[in-house]
Each structure stands twice: as C-alpha cells, then as structure tokens.
Amino acid sequence: MLTISADSPVPPYEQVRAQLAQQIIEQKLVVGTRLPTVRRLAADLGLATNTVARAYRELEEAGLIETRGRAGTFVSAAGERSRERAREAARQYAQTVRSLGIDPAEALRIVQAALKATGSRLPE
C-alpha cells in the first residue's frame, strides 16, 4: 500500500519514491511486478502526474524500476543484481576481516567510515 499525507513536511514525490523504494528493497514488490501507470497512480493518490513521474524517474535512475515501452513500468532485476553483488562483497569482506583477526565491532566501524567517505548518509 502507498500512503500520501498532505500534512507531511516531506514532498509528495519523495513520499512516493521512498515508499516504493522501501517496498522494492524489502521485496514486498518482487522483481517483474508491474507498477501502476503514472497517470493512474497520480489519480489514485490525488497528485499531479508530474509528481509521480518525477518519483518514477528517480527510481529508474536508481535502477530499482525500468520502463519497457508501452508494456509499462516494472520492478527491475538490476536492483536485485546490485544487492546480490553487495552481499557477495560483504561476504568476502567478512572472511577477510576474520582471517586478519579484526574485532567485528571494529570491522563495522571500518565499513561505516568507508561509506561516510563516499558521502553516504548512515542511519542513526
């Protein structure tokens, strides 16, 4: 379910984008799921079509969804492949850390520092 609140300080396009991204990452929307058309979702949520189009554009740029011409917009396999690569890299990192005898808490701090260095925002 997608929820849009007019009272929220978050812009509507970001509400749509964030909720769709979360549902795709949590695999509530599995690869290949067809999303509603921009026009349909905009009508259902009472938003302008440009607002939903912007959310879709950003999700597409993030590789989470793909547009297949007139067939519609689908949850992309590219996002799933990216996550699989990230999981594989994490497995290799965990093995390296273990073989070097580094403490797990320190290993996590190293990862956090590396992520910060790339400009990523870390959860609180």
Partner 1 sequence: MGEMRARRWLDRHGAADRPTTPLLQARLDARHRAETLSWVLMGVLLAIFVVVVELSNVPRPGRESLYQLGVFYVALALAFIVGLWIQGRRERRIGRELTRRVAHPQAVRVSAVVGRWFIVATTVIVGAGLLAGLAAATGAADPRDRELGRFMLAAVGVFTLIGLAGLTQVVRRPAIADDEASLGGDLLLRREDALRVVTPYPTMLAVVAAVQSRSLAVLLVFLGYALTTTAVHFLAYWAVTHAPAARPVAFRREATA
Nearest approach in angstroms of CB 67 to partner 1 is 13
Contacts of 38 (CB under 8 A, 6+ apart): 49, 52, 53, 56, 73
Contact 4, 45 (CB under 8 A): yes
When the beta carbons of 3 and 120 are compared against partner 1, the nearer one is 3
Which residues of this chain interact with partner 1, rule CB under 8 A? 1-7, 19-20, 23, 28-29, 33-37, 40-41, 43-46, 72
Q: Closer to partner 1 by CB, 46 or 101: give it.
A: 46
| Minimal distance, residue 86 CB to partner 1, in Å | 24
Residue that has been written with the tokens 């991204």 in this structure: 21
Round to whole Å and give the CA distance between 90 and 94: 6
CB of 19 to partner 1, least distance (A): 7
CA-to-CA separations, 43 to 38, 47, 67, 81, in angstroms, rounded: 9, 6, 20, 32
Question: 3 or 118: whose CB is closer to partner 1?
Answer: 3
Q: Which is nearer to partner 1, 11 or 104 (CB)?
A: 11
